[in-house]
Amino acid sequence: MKIAVAQLNFHIGNFESNTEKMLKAVAKAKGQGADIICFSELATCGYPPRDFLEFDDFIGLAENSVDQLRQAADGIAIVVGSPSKNPVPEGKDLFNSAFFLADKKILAVQHKTLLPTYDVFDEYRYFEPTTTHEVVEFKGKKIALTICEDIWNIGNENPLYKICPLDEMVAQNPDFILNLSASPFNYKQADTRAEIVGSNVSRYKIPMFYVNHVGAQTELIFDGGSLVVSPNGKIYEELPFFEEVVKVFDLNQVSEGTKNSPQPKHKYAMIQDALVMGIKDYFGKLGFTKALVGLSGGIDSAVTAALAAQALGAENVRCILMPSHFSSDHSIADAVKLAENYGMPYDIVPIKSVYDSYLELLQPKFEDKPFNVTEENLQARIRGMILMAMSNKFGNIVLNTSNKSEAAVGYGTLYGDMCGGLSVIGDVYKTEVFALAKFINEEKEWIPVNTISKPPSAELRPNQKDSDSLPDYDILDEILFQYIEKRTDPQDIIAQGFDEKIVKKTLRLVNINEFKRYQTPPILRVSPKAFGMGRRMPIVGKYLS
């Protein structure tokens, strides 16, 4: 038996495109002699469809996609994920389902059992879990059909769940496992995913074909990396990351083992590729082509512009340099050099006269109060206004350049440097931004060395440095990582050797600036715990504030 794994980039709600893409993959697999082709979880509608699932018309379009695929299931079986209606009045209206289509019929439907409701997942909001687990028989083989989370409760040891679907199916002596997944990217997930799949196969001693999404859906990025694992628990093949692939495997050869070792998983290579895909798909799926970046000569805007140039083409990334009274000559020179290195068009729009006009307008109302963050924020907001004006005039989308460290402690100006349509590095800590810049420069000095080596500064007052207001980033980022990613209690962070005053000040800043993060653009997720849909905190909470 030959099985095709179809790792494709779907577009949420774009049923026509998704179906056409799958039909082309079916024809390709059929031409290569495949007996079965397997697509990923909710492939007809894209993942995650979220509240689109509440519209009857949306479900009807998904049913129509399944029907088109059913008619193409002639000489080849098609396995595809799609929402389906729950025929009984009890429970949720929908199932998250895997359809097995063969001989132009729906041969079987297996619904998802384990519905994740944590981090970015909210499936129990929409779907009813199944309690029925039946293998599918096709061409003399028995197939255990599972969907994503169904394999994440190995031996019923996951405390989130009370049932292990594969334990239920293994009693029926399946010959292999198909798993339709939508596993979002973070820089640790590929290793975790391979471990989970390998552990399942080691337990049941039968091959698994694990099919994952690829592509970005706003903040969620799917890296692909679909897996074929032999009965000995070792990876037979891991499909490429961040690429669409349709590949046919011979079941007998997979069962015998050997073949390829896993792909390398360099953290910053993965993050770079994920962010490039995130930008590319955000623009492509919304029908945009050109971006605007406010280029300051600093590390954050430099990395953002570099990633945008890779994603969209340098000619489609317009850089706006907006020097003020406090901008250093070397920052302007660094920004110009970066733009010229990539061949990005750039404009220099000095803001000194605009800033002076604002001060003249506001000074009578400021009651002779001294220069403070107010005047600093004025500069940021003037720059934000210029960027948004250019965006409106030319239809270019502004890319936000704030990093995760700044977003965490509120070191940014609402309606100023926090504006934009998409936050590119909002899930990348400042120390990681520097490491990413060095990675980008490994083969060529795209980002000027001075941009990487100089002390970080917002340049909003004379001789300003980030360290005037914040702990050194090496310290700050580790405290933030312990609190945000690892959910470590404050006293436990202090017990690790961090200064108590710094810890308490940092965590207070994180919590009191929640209101700012509610007003930021969507953030491309590359870490295990990003700001946005996977982290839900109250704005007016008192904890640590």
234 is catalytic: no
In angstroms, rounded to a whole number, what is the distance separating the alpha carbons of residues 220 and 486? 20
Peptide bond into 48 cis (omega under 30): yes
Residue 349's φ and ψ, nearest 5 degrees, are -125, 90
The answer to whether 6 and 228 have CB atoms below 8 angstroms apart is: no
The answer to whether 309 and 292 have CB atoms below 8 angstroms apart is: no
| CA 479 to chain CA centroid, nearest Å | 23
Residue type (1 letter), 45: C
Which residues are CB-contacts of 450 (< 8 A; sequence separation ≥ 6)? 330, 334
Question: How are strands ordered across the β-sheet holding 36-38?
Answer: 105-111, 94-102, 77-85, 36-38, 2-7, 245-250
The answer to whether 222 and 209 have CB atoms below 8 angstroms apart is: no
In angstroms, rounded to a whole number, what is the distance separating the alpha carbons of residues 117 and 96? 14
The answer to whether 527 and 281 have CB atoms below 8 angstroms apart is: no
Residue 151's φ and ψ, nearest 5 degrees, are -100, 5
The answer to whether 245 and 239 have CB atoms below 8 angstroms apart is: yes
Of the residues 21, 45, 128, 148, only one is catalytic, namely: 148
The answer to whether 102 and 73 have CB atoms below 8 angstroms apart is: yes
| C-alpha distance from residue 460 to each of 325, 351, 401 (Å) | 8, 12, 16
Number of Cβ within 10 Å of residue 301's Cβ equals 26
Q: Which of 108, 93, 9 is nearest to 58 (CA)?
A: 93
Residue type (1 letter), 54: E
3-state helix, strand, coil split of the chain in percent (to 5) is: 40, 20, 40
Residue 83's φ and ψ, nearest 5 degrees, are -70, 150
41 is catalytic: yes
Residue type (1 letter), 123: E
Of the residues 112, 247, 337, 404, only one is catalytic, namely: 112
Cite the beta strand spans of 357-437 per DSSP E: 397-400, 422-423
164 is catalytic: no
Catalytic residues: 41, 112, 148
